[in-house]
Structure 1
Amino acid sequence: MKYLSALILSFGLVAAPAHAGVDDALEQHILPGLERFTEASEQLVETAENDCRADALRPVFQDTFDAWMPISDLRIGPSETGALSVGFWPDPRGFTQRALNGLIADEDPVAHDPDAYADVSIAARGLFALDMLLYDPDFSDYAAQSYTCALVTTISADLGRQAEALQSAWETEFAPVLRTAGEAGNTTYMTDAEAKRAIFTQVLSSLEFTSGKRLSLPMGDFDRPRPAQAEARRSGRSLRNVRLAVGGAVDLARALADRDLPRTEDAHAHFRKIADRIEDPALGDVATPQGRLRVEVLQQAVKALHDTIASEVGEPLGIAPGFNAHDGD
């Protein structure tokens, strides 16, 4: 799955001096973020091995989700496919619930085999599978020594392995590709500008995903809001995920720019101010006219931040925005 920029469908590269932006993006945001996610996942695995019941796991699950969100929207290098089984969402057809119901109903022995669990459908893996098992009343009231408890332990172990694999692949394989852009033998990025453009696109696509999915899906239509479509609503993380994803995009933009970004900082502060006005952390208040209005205003703030970064960060990097796909709509 790839996020295509609605604002920037083409880039015109103009002459620009080499920047330290690629190294800074890696060293200040991407690699530390992956390390934090691995460390949080290790705590999740250890806790699950000691006590796999929902009450015991919820705090460390929240910490693990927190660590994931700032890097969750990367869809480049190892994360292009590796992120999908960590965070399988959106899931409008309920594949996660169906997959977990099937495993539990059959008491599939794969729940006792972390090695084999890597071959299970991505709908039954990762953070959103745990979100459902730990918080949904239809699943979460399980006892120690139960099949579901074993399933939670194995999903946690599988998640920990995914985190380690993702971190290792970035550190040993893809980060060197980005760092050596333009050098002889690098057939992925022929110039330093191409590597910067690839990272910069991740910033914009993350903000577009937050606006177009994290906020739009629960809003639905005015006459038919869909609060049940909110990301991680069961664990009450929907608004928190929006905040963390937006914060991660801004952090990555800062690192890539390697300079002060006053307009971006102002737009981010405005976003945070609007987010503070939303009362329901699961975005359930989109079902009311006033609540929906607040989320719409938040969505506008995300879009404004996106456009500000496109201008303030993109143009000085030598990345000139092309035509807007929404012009004339």
Structure 2
Amino acid sequence: MRHLALTLALVASPAVADVGHATREVILPGFARFAEAADDLAAAAADDCTAGALLPAYQDAFDAWMTVADLRLGPSETAALSVAFWPDDRGFTPRQLSTLIAAEDPVVADPDAFAEVSVAARGLFALDMLLGDADLSGYGTDSYTCALVQAVATDLARTAAALEAGWADYAGVLESAGATGNATFLAEDEAVRAIYTQIVSGLEFTADTRLGRPMGTFERPRPTRAEAWRTDRPVRDVVLASEAAVALAHALVGGELPATDAALARVRQAAERVGDPSLQDLDDPQARLLVEVLQQAVRSLKAAIEGEVGAPLGIAPGFNSTDGD
């Protein structure tokens, strides 16, 4: 879905880093929580598929996802698309869902077959539309849309379980970096760089895409391009993504990060000042200003991590290989 926003150049050997701590204390528990929340969502959908009843379980699952959402490494390189197909620049999700509903496609009755459906009609962003769109969310329990919601929830639980299992194996690959037979990470510092890259590129994605995309330009804001805006998630996701990055940074270095923690506090403060959690008021100059402040706070958090984590580990930010530099 998105290119790696930041390439890194190793300028010295890492001083102190604990890949095992990062995987065992943050990454693996994060995928376990997501798998549990996705199971709960599927069970809730089977019990009562209606939007009003299902929204709390959906929000819990989305919250759990955000702790690992910005990892695009190992099993997540491809499987994450089945969970979170976004940005959706060409509007594939509404088209795919509309096609399924119009045809009342029986694929919803077969979990194995539904797993082959386009990722645009699966995962959390399909549910954002089905549960949050005014034209779709009024379905009843005996409707095709109810069956579709249940199919999406079941599929999400299956994907979450596969991600948890995949990461249980991949963690060993990260932790054994440099060992004989590890063809993925030939040196210990490669695993450190891989995790660090996820931290900083995730924050860049939050600033430039989660916030920058709906902001558009002053003359032409694009609020409906915000992440999961129908279910009021945009600002919530910014905070959760920032918190996840900081948690992983702490786990990677295993020490105090006062500048990073202070920067995260400013992200939270800026988020609290944003009036509309769905970012649908960006045509108002004052509202836009508050979102710009939040965006700058996220960028400052990234800079704090680069200074407090990247520099001591001997990792310096490089140029994006696609920008011509």
TM > 0.5 = yes
Aligned-pair CA distance for 1:315: 1.6
Give the aligned partner of residue 34 of structure 2: 37
Residue 12 of structure 2 is aligned to residue 14 of structure 1 = yes
> One-letter code of the match for 2:215?
M
Aligned-pair CA distance for 1:192: 1.0
Distance verdict in 2 for CA 1:140–1:256, change over 3 Å? same
Give CA deviations for 1:84-125 in whole Å, capped at 9, x if unaligned.
Answer: 110011113211000000000011110111111010000000
Residue 89 of structure 2 is aligned to residue 92 of structure 1 = yes
Give CA deviations for 1:111-152 in whole Å, capped at 9, x if unaligned.
Answer: 111111010000000000011111101111111121111111
Q: TM-score of the superposition, structure 2-length normalised?
A: 0.96
- In structure 2, stretches of 5+ residues that fail to align are none
Rounded Cα–Cα distance in structure 1 between residues aligned with 2:140 and 2:122 = 21
Correspondences of 1:207-222 after superposition (within 5 Å): 207-222=203-218
SS of 1:138's equivalent in the other structure is coil
Aligned-pair CA distance for 1:285: 2.2
Distance verdict in 2 for CA 1:219–1:87, change over 3 Å? same
Correspondences of 1:134-149 after superposition (within 5 Å): 134-149=131-146
Distance verdict in 2 for CA 1:176–1:264, change over 3 Å? same
Give the aligned partner of residue 232 of structure 1: 228
Rounded Cα–Cα distance in structure 2 between residues aligned with 1:278 and 1:207 = 19
Give the aligned partner of residue 153 of structure 1: 150
1:3–1:209 contact (8 Å) kept in structure 2? no
1:208–1:303 contact (8 Å) kept in structure 2? yes
Aligned-pair CA distance for 1:56: 1.4
Give the aligned partner of residue 202 of structure 2: 206
Rounded Cα–Cα distance in structure 2 between residues aligned with 1:39 and 1:324 = 36
> One-letter code of the match for 2:110?
D
1:12–1:322 contact (8 Å) kept in structure 2? no
Give the aligned partner of residue 193 of structure 1: 189
> One-letter code of the match for 2:108?
A
SS of 2:83's equivalent in the other structure is coil
Number of residues of Structure 1 aligned to a counterpart in Structure 2: 325
Residue 271 of structure 2 is aligned to residue 275 of structure 1 = yes
Q: TM-score of the superposition, structure 1-length normalised?
A: 0.95
1:5–1:208 contact (8 Å) kept in structure 2? yes
Rounded Cα–Cα distance in structure 2 between residues aligned with 1:293 and 1:271 = 14
Aligned-pair CA distance for 1:34: 0.3
Distance verdict in 2 for CA 1:144–1:225, change over 3 Å? same
Rounded Cα–Cα distance in structure 1 between residues aligned with 2:3 and 2:323 = 19
Rounded Cα–Cα distance in structure 2 between residues aligned with 1:269 and 1:16 = 27
Distance verdict in 2 for CA 1:24–1:327, change over 3 Å? same
| Percentage of identical aligned residues | 55
Task: Tell me which stretches of 4 or more aligned residues in structure 1 moved more than 6 Å.
Answer: 324-329
Give the aligned partner of residue 168 of structure 2: 171
Distance verdict in 2 for CA 1:159–1:16, change over 3 Å? closer
Rounded Cα–Cα distance in structure 1 between residues aligned with 2:125 and 2:277 = 17
Give the aligned partner of residue 296 of structure 1: 292
Give the aligned partner of residue 321 of structure 1: 317
Give the aligned partner of residue 4 of structure 2: 4
- In structure 1, stretches of 5+ residues that fail to align are none
> One-letter code of the match for 1:14?
A
Rounded Cα–Cα distance in structure 1 between residues aligned with 2:132 and 2:42 = 18
SS of 1:84's equivalent in the other structure is helix
Give the aligned partner of residue 63 of structure 2: 66
SS of 1:11's equivalent in the other structure is strand
Aligned-pair CA distance for 1:20: 5.1
